[in-house]
Chains A and B, each alone.
Chain A
Amino acid sequence: MNHATPLLSVHNLQVQFFMDEGIVQAVDGVSFDVFPRQVFGIVGESGCGKSVTMKAILQILEPPGRIVKGEILLNRNGSTIDLAKLNPNGKEMRDIRGAQIALIPQEPMSSFSPVHTVGDQIIEAIRLHQPVHARAARQIALEMFRDVGIPMPEQRLDEYAWQLSGGLRQRAMIAMALSCHPRLLIADEPTTAIDVTTQAQILRLLRKLQEEHHTAIIFITHDLGVIAQMADYVQVMYLGLVMEEGPVDAIFHAPKHPYTQALLRSIPSVHSTPRVNLPTISGSIPHPFNRPSGCPFHPRCPQFIAGKCDKHIPPLRSVGGVQAAACVLYHDVEVPR
């Protein structure tokens, strides 16, 4: 399907937080390619490194977090630049942020300033990347507001973020993110703080905009239902590592990794049988300072093989065709680590 060159190519990204108590290995060697027009889904439970990966791409990691290894290659007009090598505060990175890659965060409340109207903030963002006057920028903002389905857009432009409902605020955020026509949109749990009917509206809107603008999207969530509905290709993360990846249909209908399999079996769904115990995953996600040796899922894995799974981190390798899994059941590991 994708013979094209990837828009974004992340290679062996490692991000660590250097804390007084020790080092948090937040992202531990993650690689992926995002192709033009693709909705690339990343799913994983809280703390698995989804947001940190995105912050690394945008170079907005807060200290004590640092990219310690890896490449983040952005394809721009046929040439590639490594974002990991750019100065986070330099002009080049600032130009890329917003204009090439835009972010829709989980909680738009904290991303909008409470002392400026949402309109002023979007106008400012537009003028940062496009040589237009304030009036023209306002016109663009107004059109964006219409595009994302905000009722009474003119009036809303002059309101503050706190005056908007959760759903409208997220729409305003989407308008801001799309106002400079980015080629890649990062949606980091964009509907987690929102109710289901509003979530359905926002997901529908994102899909429509994606089709119209041909934007590629990295869609991040912990919700397997949302990822199934939104993504073309899915990467499953656990404790800073990719457990499995593949086209969405393969991940949901032929999961290979024990973590993906167990997760899919255990989630309560509208299709589950009432009042019958669900299969569960034992234990809980380890504390980041308490990372298990070897495969990070081994203390909870029903197929754990002592002496093997706890010795080496299994690399992510192809398990037939387009799907890949990081598990010794599919690949024997000799490489010590």
Chain B
Amino acid sequence: MTGTNHLPSQASTHPSAQPLLQVKNLKKYFPIQKGFFRHVLGNVRAVDDVSFFIHEGETLALVGESGCGKTTTSRCILRALTPTSGQMLFGTPDATRVDLAKLTRQELRPLRPQMQLIFQDPYSSLNPRMTLFDIVGEPLLVNGMTNRRERVERVAELLRLVGLRPEFMQRYPHAFSGGQRQRIGIARALALHPRLVVADEPISALDVSVQAQILNLMLDLQKRMNLTYLFVAHNLSVVKHISARVAVMYVGKIVETAETTELFALPKHPYTAALLAAVPVPDPRVKTGSVELKGEVPSPANPPSGCYFHPRCEFAVDVCRREAPAYRERSPGHFVACHRADELKLPGIA
């Protein structure tokens, strides 16, 4: 039974009490401007008060439909974007914590190698004019490994690590399939021994028959290198496989977080339950899609009142239209933002 275990099962093998990353009340608003004088008409609340943590060696999946703010959250953590407000506490190896949100570019520089990104699209994310050696070796060079022989050795090691032959080092990306390119991207991301790896939909652009290879590779690498993953996905089926915990986002907010098996078996937020019910199951004897979630995801520039999900929620009551539900821990490790979380019995997937 997982629900009684306060620490997420996977993280409990890592006794360090403090999470590697703790995000608190993160907000990222994009101003909507108009006209010559760039009057601000309002804000796109792409990330709107998001909190979560990830323990070292753990995988947290961030799931939600397109436009819910997954990429914006990831980009804030990597400080490709500066958050509007909030904290992002990152544990450095000497056990002090720094707030990534507050650091200047200068202060961020020594931390950058510790946080790396795996891209969604392995086709556009690799420079077609660079060889594998250049692509994977670049971060090494930038970080001071000027000796070419040394670099060749390290690149070879990295290529072997991700299941590519070192002999391919002088080839260009176009000679490789999508799955192989994703391996190249992973090798590059791992070049500097990162601690946190943000993978933004890393398999959604891949062929079905190679998706499992990349997921397995990510699992293996995590075990070998004690990597911490923030795994972004729009697809719950992928997430079941790789993550220890899952956070579900809807219109810029996290509506539910729980340990993976618990979230799938006992969802407490109606949106999570709807997402689960919408996944077409590859078994014709199991008919899915019988409960229909009506309507569409609202725009984060103009979200509904109260609970953002209320216009689509079959359980909505008056208070849902008036008040935003608090995001609270309902059972150990299970956080939900729904006024009726404790009374609803929602169907899950065993």
Q: Is the CB of A45 within 8 A of B281?
A: no
Q: Is the CB of B243 within 8 A of A197?
A: no
Residues of B within 8 A of A279 (CB): 212
B297 in the interface (beta carbon within 8 A): yes
A109 in the interface (beta carbon within 8 A): no
A262 in the interface (beta carbon within 8 A): yes
A21 in the interface (beta carbon within 8 A): no
Residues of A within 8 A of B219 (CB): 275, 277
B173 in the interface (beta carbon within 8 A): no
Q: Is the CB of B281 within 8 A of A225?
A: yes
Q: Which of B242, B282, B293 contacts A228 (CB 8 A)?
A: B282
Q: Is the CB of A197 within 8 A of B65?
A: yes
Residues of A within 8 A of B293 (CB): 197, 200-201
Please measure, in the bound complex, the distance between the C-alpha atom of A270 and the C-alpha atom of B235, giving whole angstroms. 9
Please measure, in the bound complex, the distance between the C-alpha atom of A297 and the C-alpha atom of B288, giving whole angstroms. 31
Residues of B within 8 A of A201 (CB): 292-294
Residues of B within 8 A of A270 (CB): 236-237, 240, 264, 276, 279, 281, 349
Please measure, in the bound complex, the distance between the C-alpha atom of A229 and the C-alpha atom of B290, giving whole angstroms. 11
Residues of A within 8 A of B86 (CB): none
Q: Which of B178, B244, B284 contacts A275 (CB 8 A)?
A: B244
B108 in the interface (beta carbon within 8 A): no
Residues of A within 8 A of B213 (CB): 280-282
Given A270-B240, A270-B276, A275-B219, also A249-B285 (CB < 8 A): yes
Q: Is the CB of A284 within 8 A of B180?
A: yes
Name the CB-closest residue of A to B178. A284
Q: Which of B243, B283, B289 contacts A274 (CB 8 A)?
A: B243
Q: Is the CB of A196 within 8 A of B212?
A: no
The segment out of B72-80, B191-199, B202-210 that lies at the interface is: B202-210
Residues of B within 8 A of A263 (CB): 208-209
Q: Is the CB of B216 within 8 A of A277?
A: yes
Q: Is the CB of B349 within 8 A of A223?
A: no
Q: Which of B260-306 contact A (CB under 8 A)?
A: 260-261, 264, 274-285, 287-289, 292-294, 296-297
B225 to chain A, nearest CB (A): 16
B227 to chain A, nearest CB (A): 13
Name the CB-closest residue of B to A167. B296
B17 to chain A, nearest CB (A): 22
Residues of B within 8 A of A280 (CB): 212-213, 216
Q: Which of B225-265 contact A (CB under 8 A)?
A: 234-238, 240-244, 260-261, 264
A135 in the interface (beta carbon within 8 A): no
Residues of A within 8 A of B216 (CB): 277-278, 280
Residues of A within 8 A of B283 (CB): 228, 252-253
Would you list 16 pairs from A and B whose C-beta atoms are within 8 A, ordered by A residue? A195-B234, A196-B279, A197-B278, A200-B289, A201-B293, A203-B280, A204-B292, A223-B280, A228-B281, A268-B237, A268-B241, A271-B281, A280-B216, A282-B213, A284-B179, A284-B210
